[in-house]
Amino acid sequence: MTKLTFTADQLVSSTIASKKFGELRKKAKDLPQFITENGAVDTVLVGYPYFEQMFERLTELEEKEEERILNERIDRINQEPNTILIWKEIRREPHEGAIGYSF
């Protein structure tokens, strides 16, 4: 995994962050602010527009990954149709206490 890089100006202890939160929020609109606890980064404060960009990008990447997995499965089924398992044939009979079980 790629390590994040940031400047010393972006690091702030949790004690100072709690005392200067308004100032920290303003800084976070330009650059992410890394809040430390006992010398280790614990929390990252970012402006909302930046958060929206990250969320949109993450959603896009998740959709692409789902599509890749589905296409891979479709290709596998097309190459080896005899490996298809039909859900109704492999599911177990419901047991007492299972959702939808009736006497």
**CA nearest neighbour of 44 among 59, 62, 25:** 25
pLDDT score at 48: 97
**CA nearest neighbour of 29 among 12, 51, 47, 9:** 47
Average pLDDT, 10 consecutive residues per value, the chain (103 residues): 86 96 96 95 96 97 97 92 80 65 56
Task: Answer yes or no: pTM beyond 0.85.
Answer: no
pLDDT score at 98: 63
